[in-house]
Amino acid sequence: MTNYHGDHVFGVSPFKDVEIFAYKSQLELIDKQMKEEWSKKAFEEWKKEEIFRFFSSFHIVLPIF
């Protein structure tokens, strides 16, 4: 994974069967985002908006270090 931004983290979900690697610092930033901006509650709110309808089948695939 090249960085911890949502477009990179969210974009790997189709590759859930492949090992995704990231630096430890990126994993820490992803973990922080998942507790705050990418929380389960946040995703539930996003799903209510038409533009984010793809979130209904979306999940975050965490990289390994």
Domains of the chain by residue range? 6-57
Please tell me the distance from the alpha carbon of residue 21 to that of residue 42, in angstroms, as a whole number.
25
pLDDT at 56: 66
pLDDT at 17: 86
Count, residues in the chain: 65
Give the predicted TM-score (pTM) of the model. Answer: 0.68
- pLDDT single digits (tens) 19-53: 888 889 988 998 898 898 888 888 788 778 877 77
Here the contacts of 40-46 (C-beta below 8 Å, separation 24 or greater) are: none
Residue 18 near residue 62, CB atoms below 8 Å: no
